[in-house]
Amino acid sequence: MEMKEGHLNAQDCRFGLIVSKFNEMITSRLLSSALEILKEQGTREQDIEVVRVPGAFEIPLIASQMARSRKFDALMCLGAVIRGETPHFDYISAETSRGIAQASWDTGIPIIFGVLTTDTVEQALARAGGPDKNRGAEAARSAIEMATLQKSMAKENRKPSGFQY
């Protein structure tokens, strides 16, 4: 049986992060932990681009544009949608997740969903804690693994099949 998986060496990878400004107390923690992981795993500062958007709903459009640019090996979408007293939470959460998935499917670029969807601010803060309990750090690790897996598979697909004319 052959098994394929990515690894956490990000030296030759380029990453884009799309970060919501809404709930910045939380999203800044997600971003900080994601950047920490990227740098720990060998990503150079010049190989990281951060784009700030007003809210989670705006993330998919920018993720799609960045993926279509083909400048990145993987993207991370970071945000926080916290339930309120109206159905607004349901609409924003559903459309944000659908849009991020669609952008990835349409472009073939790994786009990692790091948007917290919680009932309370306390739950969001718990998921934006230190590097061990931070969804931003988890998103960075997933992005690195997916980027390296895709690079590995692309190299494999370019190898000659052994067939000689």
Active site residues: 88
**Among candidate residues 158, 130, 147, 126, the one with its CA nearest the CA of residue 13:** 147
Q: How many CB atoms lie within 10 A of CB 18?
A: 29
**Among candidate residues 94, 49, 95, the one with its CA nearest the CA of residue 76:** 49
Give the chain's end-to-end CA distance (angstroms, integer): 30
DSSP strand E in 13-162: where? 15-20, 48-53, 74-82, 111-118
Q: How many CB atoms lie within 10 A of CB 25?
A: 11
